[in-house]
Amino acid sequence: MRGDSYQLQGQGGGVVINADETATGKFRSMLVLASGDVSIESASVVDTSGAPISASLGVLAAGTVFNGVFTMGFITGASSQAICYYE
């Protein structure tokens, strides 16, 4: 595994998600290209029953970057779009 700088620059590649699409994989960051309601899920953080933790980040404006480790990204809203960058 390369260092954080390499990962945060998106050099591991990424996947574009459009309105109402879901991306799954091991992601390090998400860049919102067109404003939308963003949700994420992390398989590495679980609740007491062992279920993955999900979080709604709300409506994020274009240009917003979310960094962290997550396994699912979802965006909703007309014309919304984001890129999820792999770990």
Q: How is the chain split into domains, by residue range?
A: 4-86
Q: What is the Cα–Cα distance from 51 to 66, expressed in whole angstroms?
A: 22
- pLDDT at 8 > cutoff 70: no
Average pLDDT over residues 8-21: 81
- Where is pLDDT greater, at 2 or 42? 42
Given this structure, which CATH class describes domain 4-86?
mainly beta
Sheet holding 21-34, edge to edge: 14-18, 81-86, 21-34, 65-76, 36-46, 52-60
pLDDT in tens, 49-86: 878 778 888 899 999 998 888 888 888 888 899 999 98
Average pLDDT over all residues of the chain: 83
